Chain A
Amino acid sequence: METFLFWFCGAAMVLGGLMTVVQRSAVVSAVWLIFAFVAAAGIFALLHAPFVAILQVLVYAGAIMVLFLFVIMMLQGPVLEGERRRMKPALWPAVAIPPLAVLVLVGTRIADHGTAAFTTPLPAGFGSPTHVAELLLGRYLLAFELISIALLVAIIGALAIGKEERKLPWK
């Protein structure tokens, strides 16, 4: 079962990622990205991280991607046209070689050393909200604070950039 789900979610995720990159229309790209994220949530669930899996859907699919779609629709015109120019064919190898090289390296490494299985047994309640919360408010309190600061800064930053809301006093 786990094997099947892994291959299913993994394939879906990679497909989603690829289509995101390949599609010319930004909206379609975004929809494929959502697809990839939902598949990634499946992978998280398989990795015994249910809390993270659901957050992945809630935060990415529910909020971040809605923001993306919103902005794409707002800036309609030029974005709709998609990519106008193609990359020069001469540059294709330059783009393609590094990832391929990495994949080849990884492939040889696996061929040499085989695969490493998960060995450590998991405690009960691993990855549950309680577990993550205890860590978040205990050992990783600094991280928690950093998260809040990052979000605060983001809020202030976004407000500062977008604050010039256009008021049109026509009347």
Chain B
Amino acid sequence: MEVTMTHYLVLAALLFLTGMTGFIVRRNAIVMLMCVELMLAATNIVFAVFARAHADGGGHVFILMNFAIAAAEAAIGLAILVEIYRRRRTVNVDDLKALME
């Protein structure tokens, strides 16, 4: 079977849904951040697919932008998590919620 655009898009969708499910299901804030990275990777694949489909490198530029965003998100997210951990001694979102109430 020849690999078509749809195949790639479905793959991206699968990855995105996996990430999304993980984000909802997991309670560990670090793992949740990793799930966000997974979702971002899925969007990157979609960008690459359409760049390929339209023979337009613009998609690649936006992937680069996404990389920057992912890196920034990871850096700030993890910095916040470390700070939260220092104060609350947990990165479990349930516990954090309980502490806030």
Contacts and interface: CB of A to CB of B under 8 A. Distances in A.
Interface in B43-59: 44-45, 48-49, 51-55, 57-59
Contacts of B92: 78, 84
A157 to B, nearest CB: 5
Contacts of B82: 71, 74-75, 161-162
A102 B17 contact: yes
B21 A99 contact: yes
Contact of A85 (B49, B62, B69, B94): B94
Contacts of A158: 75-76, 79
B45 A40 contact: yes
Interface string B26-42: 11101101110110010
Chain A contact residues: over half helix, strand or loop, or mixed? helix
B99 to A, nearest CB: 13
Interface magnitude class on chain B: 35 or more
B36 to A, nearest CB: 11
B34 A33 contact: yes
A90 interface: no
A115 B4 contact: yes
A168 B28 CA distance: 30
Contact of A26 (B28, B65, B72): B28
Contacts of B63: 49, 52
Contacts of A40: 15, 41, 44-45
B65 A143 contact: yes
B30 A26 contact: yes
A20 to B, nearest CB: 6
Contacts of B51: 47, 49, 127
B55 A126 contact: yes
Contacts of B3: 2-3, 6, 46
A26 B31 contact: yes
Contact of B79 (A51, A132, A161): A161
Interface of B: 1-8, 10-11, 13-15, 17-22, 24-28, 30-31, 33-35, 37-38, 41, 44-45, 48-49, 51-55, 57-65, 67-76, 78-83, 85, 89-92, 94
Q: Sorted from nearest, which 6 A-B pairs have the closest CB atoms? A: A154-B72, A21-B22, A115-B6, A99-B17, A17-B18, A161-B79
